Chains A and B, each alone.
Chain A
Amino acid sequence: MAVINNILQTNLNGLILKNPIMTASGTYGYADEYDDFINVENLGAIVTKAISLKPREGNKHTRIAETEAGMINSIGLENVGIEKFLKEKLPVLKEKNIDFIMNIAGSTQEEYTELAKICNENKIKAIELNVSCPNVKTGCIEFGVDEKALYNLVSEVRKNYKGYLIVKLTPNVTSIENIGIAAEKAGANAISAINTIKGMSIKLNYINGRFNKAVVQGGYSGIGIKPAALSAVSKLSKVVSIPIIGIGGIEKLNDILEFFAAGAQAIQIGTANFTHPDIAEKLIFELEEYILQNGFKDLNELKRELRI
């Protein structure tokens, strides 16, 4: 099986991908583990784990829990830091010919600006801003929940970074439309949505007259968040004109079609990579097969037909 004729080629208003299927930040590392399972270079792109200015150790307490329809994570952005990424991970991605988008995260606007500059100097083709991080200057408020803070952040990054800029929105807001509009106004080339939903897992086990309590507070992802993600993508698609990358609970071909119907131009797969390490590549083949079998000219025609 091989992808033929470029029928899956996806043009995100300037960023051209082999196909619309990417893997989501934090679920694919730096792609170094997955090439035992698939040909990673077949993917539209991989989005790296969030990279911060300095290495981060992440959280100390229990970091994951499985839920009825997905999982909760509280990893705490453990990552190698930008210096080590550029020195050790970037050359491998390049050598293996893997298209990638760098996901970046900071805790102050200055940190994001600094990261943007470094990405610019290193000619990183595309970055995705993770704005679901608390702004340490304003306490626990995330950049991505405050229109003004987000507008300023994206504008500042835009000034310092000439490549393709994606802003990844958090669903934990009252109006995701307003946040999307702010991102577009500030100069984003695309929006990706959604990041994880705030969620909690409590597992109780009564043994020997005592409750054993396993608690994880963090971000909810996986199949259970698909309806929320579809809603966000659909609402955003009505108010912004930049491309939208749909994320949330995708694990089969039909999920991808639903995201196209809602207005996504491309998609990312997250949690499902854990359940099926070969899922992303499999879905590329399935999508291609679907287009050919049903007699569509290409992906663009399929998307037009699907659009609600």
Chain B
Amino acid sequence: MIKDQIKKIYKAKIINTEKVSTNSYYIEIDCNKEIEAKAGQFVSIYCEGLTFRRPFSIFTNNKGKIGILYKERGKGTKYIKSLKKGESIDISGPLGNSFSIKNCKSLLIGAGIGTAPISFLKSKLENENIENIFIAGFLNKNEIPKLINPNIIYTDDGSFGKKGNVLSDTEEIIKKYKPEIIYGCGPEIVLKKISELGERYNIETQISLEKLMACSIGVCRGCVIDIKHGTKTVNASVCKDGPVFWGNEVIWQ
């Protein structure tokens, strides 16, 4: 049996930082060790003075280098923003499961900063020549991060791309494009709708969930959600059993 990529803590070096929209940033970290992350996996970052490490999806992975895209929210992200190129950072990963890649027509949906892991997924699909469309949605033009790679962009206020939310035309796209799998990441309301669409059109869905994490490696049971397992409801941890789940397994609150 091949052992999964070992999770390690890297006192790593920041090799790149960039502001990519009004409120989001890109940071690239050299872990000084070969890492092979899968799309959907995440890393956790220690932020000085805070008890919980902060989880972020992997956005790029090039040999030993990991890039993340983050939106400034509170103390943790403010701390990460304060770090400069050349400084060191305490990062651990890759953590969690990953999107199941299938060799079939794929529809990718990302909303807000949820476009980060979806962008990574798209580049993986492209490496394997898997046909796909990536649609992304944002509040407005200023929130669109520079480095993402969607095919179609929606903004709520119409300031860029199509006007509307990311799911405005999804039903038509499904009917026309006929995807065999849909992947999604973004606010829970969007993910819930994606899984409902999947059930309505009988298409598999894979969604990436977020939940506050303490340990982020599956030991504290702080991040569990209810999952359908046959006829039973069971606990699943978002950090280890997830963050990616089949849409039809999730019991929405």
Is B148 in contact with chain A by the CB < 8 A criterion?
no
> Residue of A at shortest CB range from B7?
A36
On whether A222 and B51 interact (CB within 8 A), knowing A58-B235, A71-B214, the answer reads yes
The number of inter-chain residue pairs (CB within 8 angstroms) is: 85
Is B6 in contact with chain A by the CB < 8 A criterion?
yes
Contacting pair A275 B51 (CB below 8 A): yes
Give the number of chain B interface residues (Cβ < 8 Å): 26
Partner of B6, one of A36, A65, A70: A36
> Residue of A at shortest CB range from B76?
A66
- Interface stretch (choices A22-30, A108-116, A231-239, A290-298): A22-30
On whether A278 and B220 interact (CB within 8 A), knowing A64-B214, A70-B51, the answer reads no
Is A274 in contact with chain B by the CB < 8 A criterion?
yes
Is B147 in contact with chain A by the CB < 8 A criterion?
no
- Interface stretch (choices B34-42, B81-89, B172-180, B221-229): B221-229
> Residue of B at shortest CB range from A279?
B9
Contacting pair A64 B218 (CB below 8 A): no
CA distance A65 to B9 in the complex (A): 23
Residues of A close to B9: CB separation below 8 A? 37, 276-278
In the assembled complex, the CB of B75 is this many whole angstroms from the nearest CB of chain A, namely 9
Contacting pair B50 A29 (CB below 8 A): no
Contacting pair A27 B51 (CB below 8 A): no
On whether A63 and B221 interact (CB within 8 A), knowing A275-B52, A277-B92, the answer reads yes
Contacting pair A27 B224 (CB below 8 A): no
Is A52 in contact with chain B by the CB < 8 A criterion?
no
Residues of B close to A71: CB separation below 8 A? 51-52, 214
In the assembled complex, the CB of A37 is this many whole angstroms from the nearest CB of chain B, namely 6
Q: How large is the interface on A (under 10, 10 to 19, 20 to 34, 35 or more residues)?
A: 20 to 34
Is B8 in contact with chain A by the CB < 8 A criterion?
yes
Residues of B close to A65: CB separation below 8 A? 212
Contacting pair B51 A58 (CB below 8 A): no
Is B15 in contact with chain A by the CB < 8 A criterion?
no
Partner of B222, one of A33, A37, A64, A278: A64
> Residue of B at shortest CB range from A77?
B221
| Bitwise interface map of A from 60 to 74 toward B, beta carbon under 8 Å scored 1, else 0 | 001111110111010
In the assembled complex, the CB of A36 is this many whole angstroms from the nearest CB of chain B, namely 4
In the assembled complex, the CB of B177 is this many whole angstroms from the nearest CB of chain A, namely 35
Contacting pair A274 B235 (CB below 8 A): no
From 6 to 27 in chain A, residues with beta carbon under 8 angstroms from any chain B beta carbon are 26-27
Is B46 in contact with chain A by the CB < 8 A criterion?
yes
Contacting pair A75 B221 (CB below 8 A): yes
Residues of B close to A78: CB separation below 8 A? 221, 224, 235
Is B215 in contact with chain A by the CB < 8 A criterion?
yes
| Bitwise interface map of A from 159 to 172 toward B, beta carbon under 8 Å scored 1, else 0 | 00000000000000
Contacting pair B6 A274 (CB below 8 A): no
Contacting pair A63 B224 (CB below 8 A): yes
Contacting pair A57 B235 (CB below 8 A): yes
Contacting pair A75 B222 (CB below 8 A): yes
- Which among A66, A70, A222 has the highest number of chain B CB atoms within 10 Å? A66
CA distance A73 to B213 in the complex (A): 11
From 213 to 255 in chain A, residues with beta carbon under 8 angstroms from any chain B beta carbon are 222-223
Chain A interface residues (CB < 8 Å from chain B) = 26-29, 33-34, 36-37, 49, 57-58, 62-67, 69-71, 73, 75, 78, 222-223, 271, 273-278
A/B interface sample: 15 pairs, CB < 8 A: A27-B219, A28-B219, A29-B218, A37-B7, A37-B8, A62-B212, A63-B221, A66-B50, A66-B52, A70-B51, A73-B222, A75-B221, A78-B221, A273-B215, A277-B92
Chain B interface residues (CB < 8 Å from chain A) = 6-9, 46, 50-53, 90, 92, 212-224, 235, 240
